[in-house]
Amino acid sequence: MSKSRQKISIKARFFQVGAPLIIALILTFVFKSKVLIPLEVSNSYMEPGFPKGKTVYINKLTSAKSFLVGDVVLAKSPMDENSYILARILGKPGDEVSISAREAYRNGNLVSEEIFPKPKSWNLPVLPSGKTESDEKQKLIVPEKTFFLLCDNREIGIDSRELGPIPESLIIGKVW
């Protein structure tokens, strides 16, 4: 009788402890591979907030409707399917955006530095060709189903100033 009690006890323990543990591990694996993607920042486009080598996590379940100005997102480049852009949202569909003297404007208003950091000249490398000291951008109305993305390190970043507004279909997710 004690042997059958041991067998029931082992089976019961497996279903009480082992099965939930296995299910939790499977759900964690699925969540990490399909929902929350780790990404190592590979350039200096978002310095100083996101330095090269830092690991960030991209939430793929975030919908474009929930994006706010200042949110950092990961998007595929419209020019090269194998390149990605990590940048902040400056403009949503219908917004008027512009950049003047290193300051970002949305709908005619200066965007707050708490939401959208102003670049600091102390961290800027030599300007690449095609970039000016202030890198002005004339007023642009962001088309429907697109976003205007801007890197924090504006002097070297590749973003909507060169690529144009980014279609929401190319946005992979929001940095979490």
Kindly state whether residues 52 and 27 are assigned to the same domain: no
Question: Band of the pLDDT at 86, cuts 50, 70, 90?
Answer: very high
Kindly state whether residues 92 and 44 are assigned to the same domain: yes
Kindly state whether residues 30 and 52 are assigned to the same domain: no
Show the tokens assigned to 75. Answer: 């998007």
Amino acid identity at 4: S
pLDDT score for 174: 94
For the chain, what is the largest distance between any 2 Cα atoms, rounded to a whole number of angstroms?
A: 86
Average pLDDT over residues 88-101: 90
Kindly state whether residues 10 and 55 are assigned to the same domain: no
Scanning the structure block, which residue is given the tokens 């330095």? Answer: 51
Kindly state whether residues 17 and 81 are assigned to the same domain: no
Question: Band of the pLDDT at 129, cuts 50, 70, 90?
Answer: very low
33 or 169: which leads in pLDDT: 169
Kindly state whether residues 75 and 161 are assigned to the same domain: yes
Number of H helices, E strands in the chain: 3, 11
Show the tokens assigned to 16. Answer: 């009480």
Kindly state whether residues 14 and 81 are assigned to the same domain: no
Question: Band of the pLDDT at 175, cuts 50, 70, 90?
Answer: very high
Kindly state whether residues 79 and 21 are assigned to the same domain: no
pLDDT score for 78: 92
Report the candidate in 112, 110, 72 with the shortest Cα–Cα distance to residue 89.
72
Kindly state whether residues 95 and 60 are assigned to the same domain: yes
Quote the CA–CA distance of 37 and 175 in Å, as a whole number: 9
100 or 172: which leads in pLDDT: 172
How far apart, in Å, are the Cα atoms of 146 and each of 5, 70, 167?
Answer: 65, 15, 4
Question: Band of the pLDDT at 124, cuts 50, 70, 90?
Answer: very low
Strands (DSSP E) along 55-111, which ranges?
55-59, 72-76, 84-91, 96-100, 103-106, 109-110
Q: How many domains does the chain have?
A: 2
Report the candidate in 158, 173, 21, 137 with the shortest Cα–Cα distance to residue 79.
158
Phi first, then psi: what are they for 122, rounded to 5°?
Answer: -70, -20
Kindly state whether residues 22 and 103 are assigned to the same domain: no
- Can you give the residue range of the structural domain that contains 4? 1-34
| 3-class state of residue 82 by DSSP | coil
Kindly state whether residues 25 and 87 are assigned to the same domain: no
What pLDDT, in 10s, does the model give residues 55-67?
999 998 888 889 9
Query: What CATH number is given to the structural domain containing 105?
Result: 2.10.109.10
- Rounded to an integer, what is the distance from CA 127 to the centroid of its chain? 24
Kindly state whether residues 62 and 27 are assigned to the same domain: no
Tell me the whole-structure pTM to 2 decimals. Answer: 0.74
pLDDT score for 3: 54
